[in-house]
Structure 1
Amino acid sequence: MTQVCLDLPESVPALLHCRPGELNKELLLAAAAHWYQQGRISQEWAAQIAGLDRTDFLLALARMGKDSFVVDFDDLDDELARG
């Protein structure tokens, strides 16, 4: 497994309203949600990165106010044009 080490100010957990031990989970979820929203990874991969199953990942997105399903509107237009 790849590990990443980040140096963050001591005040970050307090700013995020989480305990220092929860910061890792917060960062993984934030990264997974961001990459999923960009269309760079699938729901399955995002859930795995966040350490959740797909249902819990979708619920976490909803709590974050993020879209659960990424739609490429150009692809949608093409599908609709095909009937």
Structure 2
Amino acid sequence: MTHITVDLPETVFSALRKTPDEFAQEMRVAAAIKWYELGQISQSKAAEIAGLSRAEFINALFRYQVSPCQYTEAELARELSDAD
């Protein structure tokens, strides 16, 4: 596993009421969710980055109010028309 060091001011931990380890985990989740939301990574890869199971990642998506479905309206319409 690769380790990345990020320097942050001490005040961020108390402002968010998180320990440094909790903050680091939440950063992983937030980054994975954003990259997933932008369509840059799959749901499976996002869950892996976040250090969560796929079910836990889907729960995190709901917590962040991000849809687990990554279809545009046009893509969904095309999929549904192909199903007929």
Corresponding residue pairs, total: 83
Name the structure 1 match of 2:50. 50
Name the structure 2 match of 1:11. 11
- The residue type paired with residue 35 of structure 2 is W
Q: Which runs of 5+ in 1 are unaligned?
A: none
Over aligned residues, Cα RMSD in angstroms? Answer: 1.6
For residues 72 and 63 of structure 2, what CA distance do their matches in structure 1 show? 23
Tell me the TM-score normalised to structure 1 length. 0.83
Task: State whether structure 2 residue 72 is matched by structure 1 residue 72.
Answer: yes
Percent of aligned positions with the same letter in both sequences? 41
For residues 15 and 67 of structure 2, what CA distance do their matches in structure 1 show? 24
Moved over 6 A (4+): none
Tell me the TM-score normalised to structure 2 length. 0.82
Q: Which runs of 5+ in 2 are unaligned?
A: none
